[in-house]
């Protein structure tokens, strides 16, 4: 009796699976908050140099306080090209002549300026406090904002490697419980950080916990779910992340202080940690780990919750031996090298590396730069989240009726073109720039939706998780590099858009070299993958020859 048959025997998609899926989905709603949190906790407010002078001692003490403050800014801070106060410089001496309408100012650029030696004044009308205003991450320190996000993403990568290995050794349940606790503790500690260095350290640890929660949560749910309902469960988790983006926008709007916002999105994980002790270990993993007796015990528990106690009691020692033999026979000594050992798998691995890297790279390049569009940041967060619903739905239709390869290539190329188009749109056309960015983000969300399924279908069973691990690593590298590329706008304003747009176009072209998997059975061995493409190519050539002869 196979494990899939055992699941059906103890209730299939019964009460246990439904409760399990819901409890595992609750943390997913909040998990998106941590990925995109810096859009709000690290929002850059309007600012200018601090001016230390007593208004009562100026030549304009007869003016009202409001006008005097405005004029004081005029004589203290130079104006930029948009006639706004310069953000990083002030006049060395007060330029009172600028208030005299009869005076003639020959050249403002000749007036001597200096950096902001006494700090900055920030506009706190939207955000009362951010890490930018608290630690003055502006002007010469402005790149530290992007560095902090890259450090968080590096934690996500490290967590994928560390907790992936731990879950193979100790099971899915224990690392998941630990990750809930780590997310709660490090997320809360981030809110109480006394320095930027401490903030980055705690964010790195939070990123590690993020990976552990996603990987082990999805694995537990999928391994306890019957085959016929797995796609529904996985899709549900995808939409939970999307809804989480809506939740983040609302919570960030209600809580403009970064420390309180960080605290609110972290404390719920203490609750998740408490109820996660109810979780059952994956019976599949228990069998692979050589513990079939414990696997049967968990199946008895599932049968009881699903009101299939009599069927569960029928599981005997023969079933345990069948499980052990079935899973032991599936084990092999395949390694990472097998992903590139044969020609077809080498092509698949290289192309998928491009696809995963560029999808994540461009996605976070757009999603982590919401302020750049000049639209209300809370509104655009909602729009960016809502576009995922139609995008993922359309991608499911095209994957099902047209094919995976077409969907993958089209979504990436359209995303790249949408990003590149913004290079030619003037900054004052904010609506058009936002529409193009939303289209690009939607295409990238559809690309993510496609590549997860596509990767699972391209790799054979014996190295499928190894291939998914490589793909996840490339995606994390893309998310780490994306904020760093943003720094290049200091030199050429449109250079980041060129890079963000070119990457998905190149990978979209690479995707056309992948085999199609629509209506094709999942391969189990490397030999199947190699021979399948040869047979497919031979069939196409024969069809072409027949066409020419006719």
Query: What backbone torsions phi and psi does residue 77 show, to the nearest 5 degrees?
Result: -120, 130
What CATH number should be reported for the domain whose range is 1-38+135-331? 1.20.1250.20
Distance CA 303, CA 318 (A): 18
What angle separates helix 268-275 from helix 15-35, to the nearest 10 degrees? 150
**Percent of the chain whose pLDDT exceeds 90:** 19
> What is the DSSP annotation of 12-65?
SS-HHHHHHHHHHHHHHHHHHHHHSTHHHHT----EEE-----GGGSTTTTS-H
Residue 195: its pLDDT value, please?
Answer: 92
Distance CA 15, CA 308 (A): 10
Distance CA 146, CA 128 (A): 21
What CATH number should be reported for the domain whose range is 338-550? 1.20.1250.20
Average pLDDT over residues 128-152: 87
Of 271, 247, 255, give the one whose Cα is nearest residue 183.
271
Bridge partners for 257 per DSSP: 129
Q: Encode pLDDT of 415-474 as tens digits.
A: 999 999 988 888 778 888 888 888 998 999 889 888 887 887 888 866 776 777 788 888
Q: Encode pLDDT of 346-398 as tens digits.
A: 999 999 999 999 999 998 888 777 767 667 788 888 888 888 888 888 888 88
Residue 55: its pLDDT value, please?
Answer: 47
Q: Is the per-residue pLDDT at 84 higher than 90? A: no
The CATH 1.20.1250.20 portion of the chain extends over 1-38+135-331, 338-550
């Amino acid at each position: 009796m196979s494990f899939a048959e055992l699941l059906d025997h103890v209730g299939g998609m019964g009460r246990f699976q439904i409760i399990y899926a819901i409890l595992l989905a609750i943390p997913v709603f909040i998990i998106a908050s941590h990925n995109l949190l810096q859009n709000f906790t690290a929002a850059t407010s309007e600012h200018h140099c601090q001016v230390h002078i007593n208004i009562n001692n100026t030549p304009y003490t007869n003016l009202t306080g409001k006008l005097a403050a405005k004029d004081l800014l005029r004589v203290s801070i130079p104006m930029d090209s948009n006639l706004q106060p310069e953000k990083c410089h002030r006049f060395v001496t007060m330029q009172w002549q600028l208030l005299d309408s009869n005076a003639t100012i020959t050249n403002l650029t000749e007036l001597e300026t200096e950096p902001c030696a006494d700090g900055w004044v920030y506009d706190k009308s939207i955000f009362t406090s951010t890490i930018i205003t608290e630690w003055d991450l502006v002007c010469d320190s402005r790149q530290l904002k992007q560095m902090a996000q890259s450090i968080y993403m590096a934690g996500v990568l490290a967590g994928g490697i560390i907790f992936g290995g731990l879950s193979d050794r100790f099971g899915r349940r224990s690392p998941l419980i630990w990750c809930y606790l780590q997310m709660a503790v490090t997320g809360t500690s981030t809110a109480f950080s006394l320095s930027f260095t401490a903030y980055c350290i705690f964010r790195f640890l939070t990123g590690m916990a993020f990976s552990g929660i996603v990987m082990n949560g999805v694995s537990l749910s999928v391994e306890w779910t019957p085959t016929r309902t797995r796609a529904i469960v996985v899709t549900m988790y995808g939409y939970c992340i999307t809804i989480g983006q809506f939740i983040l926008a609302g919570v960030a709007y209600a809580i403009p202080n970064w420390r309180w916002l960080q605290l609110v999105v972290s404390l719920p994980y203490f609750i998740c940690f408490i109820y996660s002790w109810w979780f059952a270990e994956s019976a599949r993993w228990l069998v692979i780990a050589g513990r079939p007796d414990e696997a049967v015990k968990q199946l008895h528990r599932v049968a009881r919750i699903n009101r299939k106690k009599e069927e569960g009691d029928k599981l005997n020692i023969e079933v345990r031996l069948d499980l052990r033999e079935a899973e032991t026979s599936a084990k092999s000594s395949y390694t990472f090298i097998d992903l590139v050992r044969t020609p077809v798998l080498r092509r698949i691995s290289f192309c998928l590396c491009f696809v995963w890297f560029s999808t994540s790279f461009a996605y976070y390049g757009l999603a982590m730069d919401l302020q750049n569009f000049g639209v209300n940041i809370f509104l655009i967060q909602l729009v960016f989240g809502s576009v995922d619903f139609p995008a993922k739905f359309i991608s499911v239709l095209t994957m099902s009726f047209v094919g995976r390869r077409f969907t993958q290539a089209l979504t990436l190329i359209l995303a790249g073109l949408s990003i590149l188009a913004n290079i030619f749109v003037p900054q004052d056309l904010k609506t058009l720039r936002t529409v193009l960015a939303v289209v690009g983000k939607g295409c990238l969300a559809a690309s993510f939706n496609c590549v997860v399924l596509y990767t699972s279908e391209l790799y054979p069973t014996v190295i499928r998780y190894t291939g998914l691990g490589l793909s996840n690593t490339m995606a994390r590298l893309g998310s780490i590099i994306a904020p760093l590329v943003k720094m290049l706008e200091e030199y050429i304003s449109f250079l980041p858009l060129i890079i963000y747009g070119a990457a998905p176009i190149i990978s979209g072209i690479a995707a056309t070299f992948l085999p199609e998997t629509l209506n094709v059975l999942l391969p189990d061995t490397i030999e199947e993958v190699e021979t399948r493409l040869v047979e497919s190519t031979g069939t196409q050539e024969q069809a072409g020859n027949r066409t020419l002869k006719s």
